[in-house]
């Protein structure tokens, strides 16, 4: 089994910054694309950013220029640096990763448990 554990969420004032981390552990052979999603109350879960194993990134228009996704393959960890936070960024943020487990030929997508980000004065 593979587990994703997020950390770094919390309460921050508008204009502030947070850095989210997501560490994968378990019977991992390879990790392919990783990403961050978020879900605000009353809204569907939406894509925030993705990053491939080679470092190619993609961002939602709403966060371009403010958020940066990165990864440390040696640590099986993906990060989301969030700057100039706005109240509309308030949501539960979820980590996602496509993982090939040891001794299998299948790639499965895993989700973290989510971490709350609240932007409010």
Tell me what percent of the chain is helix, strand and coil, each rounded to the nearest 5. 5, 60, 35
Q: How many C-beta neighbours within 10 Å does residue 88 have? A: 10
Are 46 and 60 in contact, with CB atoms under 8 Å apart?
A: yes
If you ran DSSP here, which 8-state letter would residue 13 be given? -
Contacts of 32 (CB under 8 A, 6+ apart): 52, 53, 97, 98, 99, 100, 107
Q: What are phi and psi of 75, to 5 degrees?
A: -105, 0
Contacts of 118 (CB under 8 A, 6+ apart): 10, 11, 12, 90
Kindly give the confidence (pLDDT) of every residue in the chain, 121 residues in length, as a single tens digit, with 9 standing for 90 and above: 899 999 999 999 999 999 999 999 999 999 999 999 999 999 999 999 999 999 999 999 999 999 999 999 999 999 999 999 999 999 999 999 999 998 887 899 999 999 999 999 9
């Amino acid at each position: 089994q593979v587990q994703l554990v997020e950390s770094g969420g919390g309460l921050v004032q508008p204009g502030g910054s947070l850095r989210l981390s997501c560490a994968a552990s378990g019977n991992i052979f390879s990790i392919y694309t990783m990403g961050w999603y978020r879900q605000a109350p009353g809204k569907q879960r939406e894509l925030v950013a993705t990053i491939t194993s080679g470092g190619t990134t993609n961002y939602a228009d709403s966060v371009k220029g403010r958020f940066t996704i990165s990864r440390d393959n040696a640590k099986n960890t993906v990060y989301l640096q969030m700057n100039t936070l706005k109240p509309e960024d308030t949501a539960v943020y979820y980590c996602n990763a496509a993982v090939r487990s040891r001794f299998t030929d299948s790639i499965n997508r895993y989700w973290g448990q989510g971490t709350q980000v609240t932007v409010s004065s």
